Amino acid sequence: MLRKKELIAVIEEGENSRVEFKQRFSTPEKIAKEIIAFANTRGGYMIFGVEDDGTICGVESEKGEIELINQVCTSLIEPPLQCESFSYNIRGNEVVVTEVPESRNKPHRIQDYLESLDIRTAQVYIRVDDKSVQAGKEMIRVLKHQNSAEGLRNYFIGDLEKKVFEYLEKNERIDVKIFCNISNISERRASRTLVKMVRAGLLFIHIKDNGEEYFTIGM
């Protein structure tokens, strides 16, 4: 739980990869998207009663906001999340802060009432800078493997991996489509190979604001 002085300092710093401002509770789906993005990334704080520029405007009912947030976490997110929310009085305005921890049960998605995650249709979000962005298939696969603490050990570098490195020697980034073209393999095989290389620490996966994914050399 943030202390009041800490919260004021966070608000003054502005939105970033771990902080999101909301004037008020908007729609359940939008709030679910933001909470999912934090849980699937490094966690963070949703602060209600603050405008985008950091102006404190307050909420009408802190109890009502917290109740709606709890409903979202338990009914609109799969797997459900447990988040803590706290209210603060700042300069005469009530502000609600929801603390979203980084999950150990990734990836979370918008509730679709399916028994298991369907990578083709799941609405999974992650945090990129100060935005919540929908993840693609490769990022979802990476998130699934993050649940296990270990990466790939003794990973064998074969011909496909060598093609990736050869391409990245001359280019800054590679994506699944490019890999398919230079290797003459299926999209599924290209995706799985690149994801395994991320798990082995050989590549980094990145996602743009528009959801496009690409890979660069790991460090």
Q: Residues 78-117: pLDDT tens digits?
A: 999 999 999 999 989 999 999 999 999 999 999 999 999 9
- Examine the pLDDT at 154 and tell me if it is beyond 90: no
Q: What are phi and psi of 142, to 5 degrees?
A: -65, -45
Return d(Cα 99, Cα 34) in angstroms, integer. Answer: 12
- 3-class DSSP state of 196: helix
Domains and CATH numbers, the chain: 4-130 (3.30.950.30), 143-217 (1.10.10.10)
Percentage of the chain modeled with pLDDT above 70: 96
Q: In terms of Cα–Cα distance, which of 156, 162, 166, 126 is closest to 142?
A: 126
What average pLDDT does this structure show over 8-29? Answer: 94
pLDDT of 218 higher than 70: no
Each residue's pLDDT tens digit, 37-73: 999 999 999 999 999 999 999 999 999 999 999 999 9
Stretch 134-155: mean pLDDT: 80
For residue 35, the SS3 value is helix
Distance, in Å, from the CA atom of 211 to the CA atom of 117, rounded to the nearest integer, reads 19
Dihedral pair phi/psi, residue 155, rounded to 5°: -70, 130
pTM for the model stands at 0.86
150's CB contacts (< 8 A; 6+ apart) are none
